[in-house]
Amino acid sequence: MDCARPGVTVDCLDPQRVAGFWGALPGREPGPSRDGRVCLGDHGDALPWLAFQPVPEPGAGKVRIHLDVAVGEHRARHGLGGQSAGERHDYDEGIVVVVADPEGHEFCLVQYH
């Protein structure tokens, strides 16, 4: 039986802008895209693929799932259009800083000890 290959789809108002942010974060180029969707990676990649699809309304409320991005040092990525959520957590395993992409999708930058 084949293992499922994970991927994440993000609803957003401006898929090009949000995909540009997420592509610059790990250094991934857009892959196959269609119908207004912008994809980073491909279903055959070793890394999970990310798809950004257009929706007519902005998100509301806290999303119950988010991505963690491991980094060597914490950067809020303001130059890419990201924003700090003003939240930091110190754990035995490492430090977690909550940030958001240009449309407010929260994610965590994680620095492991």
Instruction: Read off the pLDDT of residues 2-59 as tens digits, 9 standing for 90 and up.
Output: 555 678 899 999 999 999 999 888 788 887 778 899 999 877 777 788 999 999 998 8
CA terminus-to-terminus distance, the chain: 36
pLDDT for residue 42: 72
Other Cβ atoms within 10 Å of 33 Cβ, number: 15
| Cβ neighbours of residue 66 closer than 8 Å, sequence gap 6 or more | 105, 106, 107, 108
Read off the pTM.
0.79
Q: How confident is the model over 38-54, as pLDDT tens digits? A: 999 877 777 788 999 99
CA–CA gap between residue 17 and residue 48 (Å, rounded): 20
